[in-house]
Amino acid sequence: MYPPAEPMGTEVFARLPESLHLTQQHSSWLAARHVKMHSFLEGPSFDRAGNLWCVDLAHGRILRVDPAGNFEVIVSYEGEPNGLKIHRDGRIFVADHLHGLMLLDPESRSIRPYLQHVQREGLKGLNDLFFASNGDLYFTDQGESALENPTGRVFRLRADGKTVDLLMDGLAGPNGLVMNKAENVLYVAITHDNAIYALRLEPGGQMKKASRFIQLSGSTAGPDGMALDCAGNLAVVHAQAGTVWLFSPLGEPLYRIRSCAGMRSTNVAFGGDDMRSLYITEAEQGVILRARLPHPGKPMYSHMD
């Protein structure tokens, strides 16, 4: 349908040191998947000081990586952190599969529940989150949804910190999410449909006429994390394919960014002095990869004045 995407390579920016490998520690998350891993990196986000924050889903850790690539454990707790995004006031929000939406205080190095119920109903298991420029927080409630159990949901927590809107349910594994440049379309990775959905938003915020924007093929998983550049191009991690695709605003494949270390790429974030470097968490080897892209990333809410 389209010409082949131009290949693009990556380099290792940072590697989780062996001193932080938890090879002998029990993890219910790993046990449920019948695998053994020393970590499972996800959720990269940059703060204003240039530090890259990420999570270790397998062992309940929040990590900070300085600009030189040095890892530090900020918080370790009994949880399953997945997505992570930073508010412009410095607060750090974490999507946790067990505990819902969590709030991390980077100064005190403490984490606590922020949102665990919606209209008296418990959340199924959060996966990822995204801040709009007005402070609204969009998040996916994936739970154990799949093609045979399409019960995943997409919510929005308004900037007032109280009002929660259900945008869409009946989804087979809603995962990463990001908005287009105009912020009138919310892209959602639907892992078990191997697709990216476009949720069109009315001026008042209501969702109307969702559609399948991109249909992927291959991999034993599906799309995971996403990010947008200033030209409106969409970076999509294809989990267990060792690939990040860069699609045009029309959904045309432009680049195939291949992992140089492992096949389990999970999530992406733009960073660097000129914001043209795409940082990729890779869970198989516990590394963060980096690739240079033609356009800078769209500024995140954490960097807005």
Q: How buried is 98 (Cβ within 10 angstroms: 0-12 exposed, 13-18 middle, 19+ buried)?
A: middle
175 is in an annotated binding site: yes
233 is in an annotated binding site: no
**Cα–Cα distance measured from residue 250 to residue 134, given in angstroms and rounded to the nearest whole number:** 25
What CA–CA distances, in Å, run from 2 to 6, 105, 247, 255? 12, 46, 11, 12
**Cα–Cα distance measured from residue 122 to residue 285, given in angstroms and rounded to the nearest whole number:** 34
Written as one letter, the residue type at 2 is Y
For 16, phi then psi, to 5°, come to: -60, 120
* Residues with catalytic function: 224
Please, what's the largest Cα pairwise distance for the chain?
52
Q: How buried is 47 (Cβ within 10 angstroms: 0-12 exposed, 13-18 middle, 19+ buried)?
A: middle
| Per-residue exposure over 249-258, b if at least 16 CB sit within 10 Å of its own CB, e if not | eeeebbbbbb
Q: Which of 160, 130, 149, 248 is nearest to 191 (CA)?
A: 149
Quickly count: other Cβ atoms within 10 Å of residue 72's Cβ: 11
Q: How buried is 231 (Cβ within 10 angstroms: 0-12 exposed, 13-18 middle, 19+ buried)?
A: middle
**Cα–Cα distance measured from residue 171 to residue 195, given in angstroms and rounded to the nearest whole number:** 11
Three-state DSSP state, 28: helix
224 is in an annotated binding site: yes
Residues at the binding site are 42, 127, 175, 224
Annotated binding-site residues for a divalent metal cation read 42, 175, 224
Which residue ranges make up the annotated binding site for substrate? Answer: 127
